[in-house]
Every structure is written in structure tokens, then in C-alpha cells.
């Protein structure tokens, strides 16, 4: 500029023409993450296509909660999802508005819906805007109104026609494949969610493509199904009250396994109600047995489910995975006080009436206490030695931000667990030092499948160092990294180390897996290059495509270990688009059975399993090549 000042980037182009107002559906389509989380392709249970289904079913379940409609029929054929309930039906004059006008709904004043999970007048609108085809129809007292949309734009509507259909609402949609690319529905994910709906709404029947999900005893059924045979120390305690239901027992695994729900929503990230339950259980055991038990000893190996119903619950996002603080009733007790009072009163009554169960619980708590106390000194000494070892060998290359920081980047914090110095060196050189840490393993860790907690958690130096790095103990409250990524070589030894680490987490810290913190890093197996191109391939099929594209001068490199990948290359593999596979532990998975199969003495069974699935994989590959 002539006056010697320098214009900032974009200053000349920024004017009134740059300030725009988006329509409701354009905003949802441009910022879908605000409404349904990540888009995804259906491979993860929290992908957006499952949130769309949930938003529709939530409204039908809310109808049942108000006493209308005991059946919900869901059909999914290819990519078309249809949900029909038999509730009251949307008021006929508001069908189009409920599907296409933001902040429109019947759940704002608590008169028609008292304790619903659908609250913000957003869910169905998000489904509509993110669908290439959306159809909605309401049936009320022999009259029906219907409307069709595409990407939120109204295509047609027909109002107040006669019908012989029963009251209720029908919604049909196809998620827009220009947003959800190459997506497919995993029916295991959908069925698990329907099963949860049935546990939380005894008497409700949900039918998916002809398969029914229903429950008679609610959370008691949930706990029994998740525990399986012979995994509970005593029959689950089942407590029910106004707007609250609890089932709990102690199992044979380590750690805590607590499922929490608010108004039928699975609050996977917990919140006020879960914290109150954990606090109340520990306090009640302490008061009942008149012993100053450590809360962690009281809750060691506990398996429980907690469900509360709340007016105007405050969730931390539209996906409703964590409950914030809120009154239980207007001018009534807080959620925390309501849960604590209920648990204290009802659990105390149960224990006085069931002294045999109380005796089992006492012995379990004392066993946990004895193990912990007998190893406190040993653990402390090893931790101190481990910290000194870490400092000397630089086994932990920490990052600047940690998971519990209030920094917006805390959610991105990651620790890579690597084998050997060369691999950890490559990642350390390539990483983002603000959010990515590296922990270097010293060879293969111990197989802890048959080992005691004393031997592994308190006495094993390598695992002590890892526990100290993650900052985990009896709970995950102070976990330092959101993602714990196992980054091992793509060879037999690397796979073995991966299994050994997973066994450690599953046995002693299963909540780390259940809460979705553990991942596997996938790095390229091949580099196909020419003078002009470098193509990185994660499997043989991708390699074959790359070779065919590049032609005869293609040079193929097979990466055996992470240390063979240069830091400059590695930077692209651990960046924003790195390939991570979430380690999933489903609610109905038995940790004991999983570890027994994969890490036990049943070598012939595992060999047969490998041969069967290897043969299937080869046959499928051959068919694709044909």
C-alpha cells in the first residue's frame, strides 16, 4: 500500500456480500457435525446414519413413554429406512412444520411430553435435511396428512385425506449418499440400540425386519444378558422408583462396568446421574458395614445399570451422550440428590432384608481392599523407579496438551504405544507435539491373561510405567489422553504385542475400551511408486489397483516395520486423516470368554477359527478378481 501499511489476507475481498444467511436445511447440510456428529460410512456405531435412525425412533419411543403405542415397526431395505409407530400421530396441521421448521415441536412446554429424550425440535429436521428422499405421514382418527421432501426441500404434500390406518406416524428416508459416501448399515449396531430401547421400556415391542426386541423386567434383563452365565457373584439387585431404575451386582472381572441412561438415551459419557450413583453406592456400603472402605474397593468389579427420567434434561450436545446438572423437577431435588437419596434408602433396605447377599458383598470389598493395601508399598516403589527409568530412557515423549485440559484441542490428544526405538523415533519426529505423545515399549509385554492383579498392576515395571503414563487407576477420571493408539509392526511379532496390550487393557482396565479410548493404528503395507507418483496402499487390493494405474515401471516397497517408514512419510499417516480402527467391546461381549478364546490354552480351536476365516477371505478375494 502507498502508506506503507500491509493489508491482511482477505481484507480487500471482505464486504457485505460475504455475509450470508443460510436456510435451515442449508445450515444442517453444511454443518452436519453440529447435529449428528461425524458423517461416517456405517463402519462405526456412532456414525451419522445411525443417529438419523435414532432420531426417528426416539420420537416413537417418547409416544410410548406417554402411554400411546406399544409397537414400533422398523424396516430397512438396502438404504431405505421406514419407521411406523402407533402413537397419537403428529397433529395434522403441523406435519410439514414439524419436519421442516427449526425449533418446532411438541416437547418444549412439558404438557404433551413430560420426560422425553427428543427436546430441541431439531432431530427430525436434521434427518429431513440430510436425506435425498424423506417422506412423513401422520394418521389421526381416520384422517391422514403426508409430505415428501428432498434434502429438506418440500416436493409435495396432501392434507386431510380419509384413511383406514390406525393412529400414529410413518417416516421413510434415504440418507443422502452425496454426504454419507459409500455407506452401509451394520445391523449388529442397530439391533444393540433396539435392545437397549426394549430394556428401558418394558412392554414396548420393536420389530426390525421381522425380528422382535422386547423386555419384561427392564434393567434386570439388561444386566443378566450382559453378564451371561456364572459371571455374577450374586443375583442382581433390582431397585425401581418414580423416574428411576437401578440394577447392580459384582462380577468376576476387574474395574467398573456401569451403563447409564437418561429418558431412554444411552449416556455413554455419563454425567451427573452416573457420578451420583457411584458416590451413593460407595457411601451406602461404607455406612451399612460400618467400615471406612475406600470407594474404589467398594466399586471394584461392580456391574450396574442406571436409568433416570428427567424433565428438561440438559445434554452437552445434540447427540445426548452426557447429562449436565439439572433439577429433577421444577423446584424439586437436583438429579444428584435424587439419585443419592434413592440409592441410599433402597439399597440399605435391600441389604437389611438380604443378609446373605450383604455377606458376599462384604467379602468382595474386603478382598479388593486386601489386594490393594498389600501392594501399595510395592506399587509406589515400582512407580518411582519407573518414572526414573522413563526420564533416563525417554520412554515417554509427552505432549503439551492433555485430555483433562480445558483446551479445545484436548479431545484430539493421542498417545501412540510403539515397539522399539526406531518406530518410536519415526513417530516422535513426525508427530504434533501439542496433542500427540509417544510411549516406547521394551520388547513384548507380559501375557497377563492368567496373571493376578498383584503381579501385573502392582509389580510389573513395564505396565506400571504405562499406567503412570496414562494416569489411570481405579477409574478414568484423570486419563491424560483421549486416544490410546496401539502402533505396532504389521508382522507376527507386532500382532502378538497388539494382543498382549489388548489383554492387559481388557482384563484390568476394561472401561478404557468400553468408553472408546483404545485404537489400532493402520499404516500402509505397500508403497507403489514411479518417477512421478507415490501411492500408499493399506492392503493387497489397493496395491494391485495402484500397480495397474502406474504401469510397468511401478516399484513396490513392502513395509514390514514402522521403523522402515521415514519420518517425512510418517507425518501423513498420523495426521488428521490417519487410519484408526476403534477397539470395540460391545455390551453383550463377555471379556472372560473373549480372552479365554484368544489368549487361553485352546490352540486347536483358534487354529480352526483362523483356517475357516482365512479360507473364506481367499474365496471372497478370488470371486472379486473374477
Residues 297 and 165 in one domain: no
Task: Write down the pLDDT at residue 120.
Answer: 40
Three-state DSSP class for residue 421: helix
pLDDT tens-digit map of 277-310? 999 999 999 999 999 999 989 998 899 999 988 8
Instruction: Give the position of cell 443378566.
Output: 224
Residue 621 has what pLDDT? 45
The answer to whether residue 615 sits within a structural domain is no
pLDDT tens-digit readout, 402-424: 988 878 888 889 999 988 777 77
**Which residues span the domain enclosing 240?**
219-369
Q: Which three cell numbers stand for residue 539?
A: 492392503
Measured between alpha carbons, how far is residue 254 from residues 157, 247, 300, 505 in Å? 57, 18, 6, 10
Q: Name the 3-class secondary structure at 203.
A: coil
Residue 614 in domain? no
CATH of residue 433's domain is: 3.40.50.670
Sign of CA dihedral 19, 20, 26, 27: positive
Is 448 a domain residue? Answer: yes
Q: What CATH number does the domain containing 102 carry?
A: 3.30.565.10
Cα–Cα dist 496/417, whole Å: 14
Same domain, 32 and 143: yes
CB neighbour list of residue 411: distance below 8 Å, 6 or more residues apart: 403, 482
Q: What is the mean pLDDT of each run of 10 residues along the chain (626 residues)?
A: 52 73 86 85 87 93 90 95 95 91 58 43 87 96 96 94 95 94 90 91 95 94 80 92 92 83 77 89 94 90 89 57 51 79 95 96 92 66 53 72 85 89 80 91 80 76 85 82 90 86 89 88 87 84 88 84 78 83 73 72 75 58 44
Residue 158 sits in the same domain as residue 39 = yes
**For residue 175, what are the CA distances in angstroms to 80, 184, 194, 298, 406?**
8, 10, 20, 46, 35
- Residue by residue, DSSP assigns 465-522 as HHHHHHT-SSSSTT-S-SEEEEE--SSHHHHHHHHHHHHHHHHH-HHHHHTT-EEEEE
Which of 175, 195, 213 is the last residue before a domain boundary? 213
Considering 348, 493, 544, 581, which one is annotated as catalytic? 493
Same-domain pairing of 184 and 312? no
Cβ-based neighbours of 190, under 8 Å, separated by 6 or more = 50, 53, 76, 208
Which member of 58, 256, 419, 462 is catalytic? 419
Residue 573 lies in a domain: yes
Task: Give the domain-ending residue among 166, 189, 213.
Answer: 213
The per-residue pLDDT for 624 is: 43
Name the maximum alpha-carbon separation found in the chain. 90
493 is catalytic: yes
239 plus 349 within the same structural domain: yes
Quick one: pLDDT at residue 471? 87
Task: For residue 463, tell me if it sits in a domain.
Answer: yes
Residue that finishes a domain, picked among 369, 404, 435: 369
C-alpha cell belonging to residue 529: 511408486
Question: What is the rounded average pLDDT for all residues in the chain?
Answer: 82
- Of 351, 114, 122, the residue nearest 243 (C-alpha): 114
Residues 6+ apart with CB under 8 A from 5: none
Sign of CA dihedral 512, 514, 515, 517: positive
| pLDDT tens by residue, 498-549 | 989 999 998 888 888 888 899 999 888 888 988 888 888 888 888 888 898 8
Our answer to whether residue 292 is catalytic in this structure is: no
547 and 504, same domain (yes or no): no
With respect to residue 377, please indicate whether it lies within any of the assigned structural domains. Answer: no
Residue-by-residue DSSP string for 357-411:
HHHHHHHHHHHHHHHHHHHHHHHHHHHHHHHHHHHHHT-EE--SS-TTSSSGGGG
Exposed/middle/buried for residue 259 (C-beta within 10 Å: 0-12, 13-18, 19+)? buried
Distances (CA, A) of 349 to 86, 218, 284, 290, 344: 40, 21, 11, 15, 9
Cα angle 13, 16, 21 (rounded to 5 degrees) comes to: 115
Question: Are residue 28 and residue 158 in the same domain, yes or no?
Answer: yes
In contact, 167 and 86? CB cutoff 8 Å: yes
Residue 385 has a CB neighbour count (10 Å cut-off) of 13
Q: pLDDT by residue (tens digit) across 211-231?
A: 999 999 999 999 888 786 667
Q: Is-contact 64 145, C-beta < 8 A?
A: no
Please report, for residues 303, 314, 565, 568, 572, the alpha-carbon distance to residue 423 in angstroms, rounded to integers and kept in the order given.
Answer: 39, 45, 8, 13, 15
The total domain count for the chain is 4
105 occurs within a structural domain? yes
Active site residue 491: yes
Q: Domain for residue 296, yes or no?
A: yes
Q: Indicate whether 30 and 153 sit together in one domain.
A: yes
418/469 same-domain check: yes
Q: Are 243 and 175 in the same domain?
A: no
Report the CATH number at residue 303: 3.30.230.10
Query: Active-site residue among 225, 359, 491, 555?
Result: 491
Q: Count of alpha carbons within 13 Å of 195, Cβ hemisphere only? A: 15
Domain check: are 121 and 206 in the same one? yes
pTM for this entry: 0.68
Q: Mark whether 171 and 254 lie in a shared domain.
A: no
In the set 196, 257, 412, 489, the catalytic residue is 489
Q: How far apart are CA 468 and CA 388, in angstroms?
A: 12
Amino acid at each position: 500500500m502507498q502508506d506503507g501499511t500491509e493489508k491482511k489476507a482477505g481484507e480487500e475481498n471482505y464486504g457485505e456480500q460475504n455475509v450470508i444467511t443460510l436456510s435451515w436445511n442449508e445450515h444442517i447440510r453444511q454443518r452436519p457435525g453440529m447435529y449428528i456428529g461425524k458423517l461416517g460410512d456405517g463402519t462405526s456405531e456412532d456414525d451419522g446414519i445411525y443417529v438419523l435412525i435414532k432420531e426417528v425412533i426416539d420420537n416413537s419411543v417418547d409416544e410410548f413413554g406417554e402411554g400411546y403405542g406399544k409397537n414400533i415397526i422398523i424396516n430397512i431395505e438396502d438404504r431405505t429406512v421406514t419407521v411406523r409407530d402407533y402413537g397419537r400421530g403428529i397433529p395434522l396441521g403441523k406435519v410439514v412444520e414439524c419436519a421442516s421448521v427449526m425449533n418446532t415441536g411438541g416437547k418444549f412446554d412439558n404438557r404433551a411430553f413430560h420426560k422425553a429424550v427428543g427436546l430441541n425440535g431439531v432431530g427430525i429436521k436434521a434427518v429431513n435435511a440430510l436425506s435425498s428422499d424423506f417422506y412423513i405421514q401422520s394418521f389421526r382418527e381416520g384422517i391422514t396428512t403426508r409430505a415428501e421432501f428432498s434434502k429438506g426441500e418440500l416436493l409435495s404434500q396432501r392434507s386431510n385425506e380419509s384413511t383406514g390406518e390406525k393412529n400414529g406416524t410413518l417416516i421413510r428416508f434415504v440418507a443422502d449418499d452425496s454426504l454419507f459416501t459409500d455407506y452401509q448399515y451394520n445391523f449388529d449396531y442397530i439391533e444393540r440400540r433396539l435392545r437397549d430401547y426394549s430394556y428401558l421400556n418394558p412392554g414396548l415391542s420393536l420389530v426390525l425386519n421381522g425380528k422382535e426386541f422386547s423386555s419384561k423386567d427392564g434393567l434386570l434383563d439388561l444386566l443378566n444378558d450382559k453378564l451371561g452365565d456364572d459371571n455374577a457373584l450374586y443375583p442382581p439387585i433390582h431397585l425401581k422408583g418414580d423416574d428411576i431404575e437401578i440394577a447392580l451386582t459384582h462380577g468376576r472381572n476387574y474395574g467398573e462396568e456401569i451403563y447409564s441412561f437418561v429418558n431412554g438415551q444411552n449416556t455413554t459419557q455419563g454425567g451427573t446421574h452416573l457420578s451420583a450413583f457411584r458416590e451413593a453406592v460407595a457411601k451406602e456400603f461404607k455406612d451399612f458395614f460400618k467400615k471406612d472402605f475406600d470407594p474404589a474397593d467398594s466399586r471394584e468389579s461392580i456391574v450396574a445399570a442406571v436409568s433416570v427420567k428427567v424433565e428438561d434434561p440438559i445434554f452437552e450436545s445434540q447427540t445426548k451422550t452426557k447429562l449436565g446438572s439439572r433439577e429433577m423437577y421444577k423446584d424439586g431435588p437436583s438429579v444428584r440428590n435424587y439419585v443419592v437419596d434413592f440409592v441410599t434408602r433402597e439399597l440399605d433396605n435391600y441389604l437389611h432384608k438380604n443378609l446373605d447377599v450383604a455377606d458376599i458383598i462384604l467379602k468382595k470389598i474386603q478382598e479388593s481392599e486386601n489386594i490393594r493395601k498389600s501392594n501399595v508399598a510395592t506399587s509406589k516403589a515400582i512407580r518411582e523407579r519407573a518414572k526414573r527409568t522413563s526420564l533416563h530412557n525417554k520412554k515417554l515423549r509427552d505432549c503439551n496438551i492433555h485430555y483433562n485440559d480445558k483446551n479445545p484441542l484436548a479431545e484430539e490428544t493421542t498417545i501412540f504405544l510403539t515397539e522399539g526405538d526406531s518406530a518410536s523415533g519415526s513417530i516422535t519426529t513426525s508427530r504434533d507435539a501439542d496433542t500427540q505423545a509417544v510411549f516406547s515399549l521394551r520388547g513384548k509385554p507380559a501375557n497377563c491373561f492368567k496373571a493376578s492383579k498383584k503381579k501385573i498392576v502392582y509389580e510389573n515395571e513395564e505396565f506400571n510405567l504405562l499406567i503412570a503414563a496414562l494416569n489411570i487407576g481405579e477409574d478414568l477420571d484423570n486419563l491424560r489422553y483421549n486416544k490410546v493408539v496401539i502402533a505396532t509392526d504389521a508382522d507376527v511379532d507386532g500382532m502378538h504385542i497388539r494382543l498382549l496390550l489388548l489383554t492387559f487393557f481388557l482384563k484390568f482396565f476394561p472401561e478404557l475400551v468400553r468408553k472408546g479410548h483404545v485404537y489400532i493404528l493402520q499404516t500402509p503395507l505397500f508403497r507403489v511408486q514411479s518417477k512421478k507418483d507415490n501411492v500408499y496402499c493399506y492392503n493387497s487390493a489397493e496395491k494391485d489397483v495402484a500397480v495397474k494405474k502406474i504401469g510397468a515401471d511401478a516399484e513396490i516397497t513392502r513395509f514390514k516395520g514402522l521403523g522402515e517408514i521415514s519420518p517425512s512419510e510418517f507425518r501423513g499417516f498420523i495426521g488428521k486423516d490417519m487410519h484408526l480402527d476403534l477397539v470395540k467391546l460391545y455390551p453383550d461381549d463377555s471379556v472372560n470368554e473373549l480372552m479365554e478364546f484368544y489368549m487361553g490354552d485352546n490352540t486347536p480351536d483358534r487354529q480352526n477359527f483362523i483356517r475357516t476365516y482365512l479360507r473364506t477371505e481367499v474365496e471372497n478375494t478370488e470371486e472379486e478378481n473374477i
